[in-house]
Amino acid sequence: MISINQVKTAFLFSILGTLAALLGYAFGGPHGMALALCIASLTNLLTYFYADRLVLAMYRATPLSQEKYQTIYDTVADLASHMNMPMPRLYLVPGNLPNAFATGRNPENAVVAVTEGIVSLLEPHELRGVLAHEMAHVKNRDILIGTIAATLATCIAYIADMIRWSLFWGARGKDSENRGSGAGLFIIALITPFIAMLIQLAISRAREYAADETGAECCQDPLALASALRKLQGDLTSHEQRPPSTAMASVASLCIVYPFRNNGVLNLFSTHPPLHKRIERLEKMAMLNQK
């Protein structure tokens, strides 16, 4: 059954693809668009194939001890069976910051990581909800979807850069009419990457809602994930979290909750929906299941 979040993702992708096509054609016709798309694809393919290693190294994650965390292994094995997918590799991230993330280009190469903080903070049923959410990302191929979105957004950024530089170097000696049309194209080249970034973030937020829904359906307990998110929200509220590095901030989109504070207008630029909205949706889902 196709969910509203899947429809939303497809719609946003169509807008992103149309922006890339129109901007590329305006700059250099089909050849200009193809060149930018090739460059963007090569850049993001490398990320797609090696992201799991980079992220695990960045977080200093180590394989989760099955002897010490047998309950987590049993939970993930049960969820994998329900989702009809292979058992992912499990990793532990040191530190008290409660969070979890999934990475890997497909279910056969998936990794699910939990922090020491989230293991100690959540009850077993809440942690099960979190693990189901992360495995839903793998099942829904969200790593692939994110890579495609990043490729299109990067393509738009490359084309916009080429337009700006070509207009800058070609501006001299032009008559006033050409300068006027060039100014309009320059403004378009400035605005379009910003629009593409907003669409890419909207796709990310739609995938978070979809993972909440898929994970809750799998573990048959939407309130477990809602309770976990409420605890994680309380932790974010009580501690002022800032990215320790630009690199850490760049991969924070993989986590079940964005680990750093976003307030006011910054929510527009967040990779995650507001936690209170995710909790409300899960609670409504639980009410519908009871009817």
Structure tokens at 259: 């680990």
Q: Report d(CA 60, CA 75) in Å as an integer.
A: 24
| Tens digits of residue pLDDT in 230-282 | 999 887 766 555 555 444 555 677 889 887 665 555 556 688 898 999 999 99
- Mean pLDDT score across all residues of the chain: 80
- The residue that leads in pLDDT, 282 or 203, is 282
Does the pLDDT at position 174 exceed 90? no
Global confidence as pTM = 0.80
Q: How many domains does the chain have?
A: 1
208 is catalytic: no
More confident residue, 127 or 241: 127
- Pick the closest to residue 225 from 104, 288, 131, 136 (CA basis): 131
Backbone angles phi, psi at 69, to 5 degrees: -120, 50
pLDDT at 11: 74
Answer yes or no: are the C-beta atoms of 227 and 129 closer than 8 Å: yes
Q: Which residue has the tokens 């006033």?
A: 176
Give the range among 21-25, 26-30, 140-144, 188-192 with minimum mean pLDDT: 26-30
pLDDT tens digits, one per residue of 87-126? 999 999 998 889 999 988 788 989 999 999 999 999 999 9
Q: In which band, very low, low, confident or very high, does the pLDDT at 44 lie, cut at 50, 70 and 90?
A: low
Q: What pLDDT does residue 58 have?
A: 84
Torsion of CA 44, 48, 52, 58, to 10 degrees: 0
Active-site position among 116, 123, 134, 280: 134
Q: Give the structural domain span for 240.
A: 4-290
Q: What is the mean pLDDT of residues 5-33?
A: 69
